[in-house]
Amino acid sequence: MPKIKVNGQEIEVPEKSTVIQAFKQAGVDICHYCWHPGLSIAGVCRLCMVQVEGMPKLQIACNTEVKEGMSVNNTSDVVKETVKWGLDFHLINHPLDCPICDQAGECGLQDQYMQFGSYDPEMAEPKVKKSKAVDLGPTVMLDKERCILCSRCVRFTDEVSKTNELGIFNRGDRSEIGTVQGKPLDNNYSLNTVDICPVGALTSKDFRFRQRVWYLKEADSICPGCSTGCSVKVHYNEEGVWRVKPRVNPEVNGHWMCDVGRNTYKYVNLKSRLLSGKVGKRDLWQEVSVEDAVRSAGLKLRETSPDAIAVVYTGQYTNEEYASAFKFFKEELKVKNVFHWLNNPEKVNEFDGLLFRGDRNPNTKGLENAFASFGAKGSWDNLQAGINGRKFKTVIVFGPEDQSVFPDLDEKIKMFSQAENLIWLTACANKSLDSVGGETWQIPVKTYIEKAGSFTNFQGKVQDFKAGTTIVPQALSVSEAVELMAGREINWNLRPRGVGGPKTNYAVSDRGEL
């Protein structure tokens, strides 16, 4: 491994590394826009200029390979001057509309200007005018004036999604990113272009104008959208969760995630959620505290004979939750009838070649492992027969967190509710559930962002995650629910506080909707 000096600091870097990679490895700041570790080298922004000892001209760090004994710096006056001017060249036709730009606060131009720029601009000419608010497709908007033509998005659609919707048309300072007639930017990875856009040129239709990013906090998590289990960051504030972005994980998702996965924040928020316990049946619901609901459900379970209980699992819970549930039902209640509700068996092995899998559960593998380690088995047919034949009096369902990926949800609710008693743990409210005829317990549980645990992805890789934020403080994890059903206590003092929920915008409510 070659040893090189980065701003005087000696480091050892892997063979064939580029200088910019060496800077990153050394933790030394270096200005750049077009370079992205997940894309080919374009070398066009010309900002990562460094001085290489022994070379007369400045070199771009992104396209310069390290050599043993090389000494590079980006601190000399000539480099600083070049970077300063490089930034100015980027800004002379940029609208500088930060106050109304969604990228403000996470903008490469802002960041690098504060760090490497801070000069008085000399550009006094009229700027090149280009189209703004260009609709690129169902997910992304383009502001051509903000675009600095780094070509990251074009390289992404050419090299990663391989969907080729984007191009740079025209030349010189008239160059514009765009799509062609009849071929919008429309693929399941389109929003990655927004992530990698270093400026506010590409914005997400879902996120734009909704929050200032400096009001958002972020928490690391694992995407529950499918069995790939991409590493993600969830962005939230006291009003709820606003967006999900990918987090670099070379072993699973690299730099990317799919658009479907980004939607997983929506059901997490208050509007969709079940906020209290509900006991009763159609037209006779009683809203009770979560504790009361879960304790009375536990009582019902404990008074039902084990052979008359059916436990139905979905692949949407954590390994830790499965462990406590299996322990309770198998070892304490001695229930033998356990079932795996697989929402889409015919698509479960599908794969788009990049990240997105047909198994829309984050933890099918974990559930299978739990079945195996507890020596449990259960076939779907027996369940139906058992309910119809009145063998199963009490059915408890660990229902889907993301209900949208269970196309058979309503139909299954109908089937389960034919049992005398139905206990349903669910994160979200559900109309079908509200109209069942049998005695039913609805118990609110936490979503992935509200709990710690691990999912085992399709590769068998166990991925831990921490709790991010809490939207519904009264919701329980399955492990907590199981403890309470068993008649034991949990430590209520350790339970989180919730978020405040969407603020009322009086300016809007007084004048009507914007």
Partner 1 sequence: MQVKLLSEHYDKPEFQTLGGYERHGGYVVLAKALKMDPNAIIEEVKASGLRGRGGAGFPTGTKWSFLPKNGEPRYLLCNADEGEPGTFKDRVMMEKAPHQLIEGMIMSSFAIGCKKSYIYIRGEYTDSLRIVGKAIQEAYKAGYLGKNILGSGFDHDMDVYSGAGAYICGEETGMISSLEGLKGQPKLKPPFPAVQGYLRKPTIVNNVETLAAVKYIIRDGAASYRKHGTEKSAGTKLFSVSGNVQRPGTYEVPLGLPLKVLINDICGGLKPGRKLKAVIPGGSSAPILTADEANKVTMDYEALAQMGSMLGSGAVIVIDDSNCMVDMLSTIMHFYHHESCGQCTPCREGTGWLNKITHRIAHGHGESKDIELIKKVSEQMMGKTICALSDAAAMPAISFVTKFRDEFETYIKKGQLGAGGAAHA
Partner 2 sequence: MASTFSMSAEGLAFIKKELTRYETPYSAIIPSLFRVQAEHGWVPPEAVVLLGKTLNLPEAHINEVLYFYTMFNTKPVGKFHIQVCTNISCAMNGGRELTQALCKHYGVEVGQTSADGKVTINKVECLGSCDTAPMMQVNADSYLENLTPESAIKKLKEMGA
CA distance 161 to 189: 6
**Among 199, 212, 232, 222, which residue's Cα sits nearest to residue 317?**
222
Beta-bridge partner residues of 239: none
Which of partner 1, partner 2, none is residue 55 near (CB under 5 to 8 Å by kind)?
none
Give 178 or 399: the residue with its C-beta nearer to partner 2.
178
Which of partner 2, partner 1, none is residue 263 near (CB under 5 to 8 Å by kind)?
none
What count of residues does the chain have? 514
Span near partner 1 by CB under 8 A; candidates 145-153, 395-403, 416-424, 432-440? 145-153
Asked if 9 touches partner 1 (CB under 8 A), the answer is no
Which of partner 1, partner 2, none is residue 179 near (CB under 5 to 8 Å by kind)?
partner 2
Which of partner 1, partner 2, none is residue 413 near (CB under 5 to 8 Å by kind)?
none
Beta-bridge partner residues of 288: 277
CB distance 200 to 146 below 8 Å:
yes
Cα–Cα separations (whole angstroms), residue 268 to 256, 429, 468: 22, 11, 12
Which of partner 1, partner 2, none is residue 237 near (CB under 5 to 8 Å by kind)?
none
Instruction: Identify the DSSP state of 50.
Output: E
Burial class for 332, CB neighbours closer than 10 Å (0-12, 13-18, 19+):
middle
Span near partner 1 by CB under 8 A; candidates 86-94, 240-248, 295-303, 501-509? 86-94
Asked if 71 touches partner 1 (CB under 8 A), the answer is no
Candidates 27, 54, 99, 182; binder of partner 2 (CB under 8 A) is: 182
For the CB of residue 438, give the shortest distance to partner 2 in the complex, in Å: 56
Candidates 49, 230, 290, 308; binder of partner 1 (CB under 8 A) is: 49
Asked if 180 touches partner 2 (CB under 8 A), the answer is yes
Which of partner 2, partner 1, none is residue 493 near (CB under 5 to 8 Å by kind)?
none
Residue 72, amino acid: V
Which of partner 1, partner 2, none is residue 44 near (CB under 5 to 8 Å by kind)?
partner 1
Span near partner 2 by CB under 8 A; candidates 50-58, 170-178, 248-256, 328-336? 170-178
Which of partner 2, partner 1, none is residue 181 near (CB under 5 to 8 Å by kind)?
partner 2
For the CB of residue 159, give the shortest distance to partner 2 in the complex, in Å: 13
Q: Strand, coil or helix: what is 21?
A: helix
Pull the structure tokens for residue 385: 């027969």
CA distance 297 to 275: 17
For the CB of residue 146, give the shortest distance to partner 1 in the complex, in Å: 14
CA distance 47 to 409: 53
Asked if 183 touches partner 2 (CB under 8 A), the answer is yes
Asked if 164 touches partner 2 (CB under 8 A), the answer is yes
Pull the structure tokens for residue 476: 């329980």
Which of partner 1, partner 2, none is residue 85 near (CB under 5 to 8 Å by kind)?
partner 1
Give the angle 286-287-290 at the CA atoms, nearest 5°. 130
Which of partner 2, partner 1, none is residue 182 near (CB under 5 to 8 Å by kind)?
partner 2
Asked if 39 touches partner 1 (CB under 8 A), the answer is no
Asked if 169 touches partner 2 (CB under 8 A), the answer is yes
DSSP labels, 202-217: EEETTTTTT--GGG-E
Candidates 73, 163, 175, 432; binder of partner 1 (CB under 8 A) is: 175
CA distance 425 to 422: 10
Candidates 5, 85, 164, 302; binder of partner 1 (CB under 8 A) is: 85
CA distance 109 to 99: 14
Q: How many residues interact with partner 1 (rule CB under 8 A)? A: 34
Quick one: how many helices (H) and strands (E) in the chain?
A: 14, 22
Which of partner 2, partner 1, none is residue 122 near (CB under 5 to 8 Å by kind)?
partner 1
Give the angle 156-131-245 at the CA atoms, nearest 5°. 35
Give 157 or 470: the residue with its C-beta nearer to partner 2.
157
CA distance 177 to 141: 11
Which of partner 2, partner 1, none is residue 164 near (CB under 5 to 8 Å by kind)?
partner 2
**Among 492, 460, 461, which residue's Cα sits nearest to residue 476?**
492
Four-residue CA torsion sign, 29, 33, 35, 41 = negative
For the CB of residue 172, give the shortest distance to partner 2 in the complex, in Å: 10
**Among 2, 18, 233, 198, which residue's Cα sits nearest to residue 91?**
198
Asked if 77 touches partner 1 (CB under 8 A), the answer is no
Give 177 or 367: the residue with its C-beta nearer to partner 2.
177
Q: Please, what is the angle between helix 478-485 and helix 290-303, to 10°?
A: 60
For the CB of residue 169, give the shortest distance to partner 1 in the complex, in Å: 9
Asked if 353 touches partner 1 (CB under 8 A), the answer is no
For tokens 């062609």, name the residue: 180
Which helix or strand (DSSP H or E) is residue 382 part of? helix 380-388
Asked if 375 touches partner 1 (CB under 8 A), the answer is no
Span near partner 1 by CB under 8 A; candidates 79-87, 197-205, 252-260, 341-349? 79-87
CA 389 to chain centre: 43
CB distance 171 to 236 below 8 Å:
no
Asked if 179 touches partner 2 (CB under 8 A), the answer is yes
For the CB of residue 152, give the shortest distance to partner 1 in the complex, in Å: 13
Instruction: State the residues that interact with partner 1 by CB under 8 A.
Output: 41-47, 49, 57-58, 63, 81-82, 85-86, 89-90, 92-93, 122-123, 125-126, 128, 148-149, 151, 168, 170-175
Instruction: State the residues that interact with partner 2 by CB under 8 A.
Output: 157, 164-171, 178-183
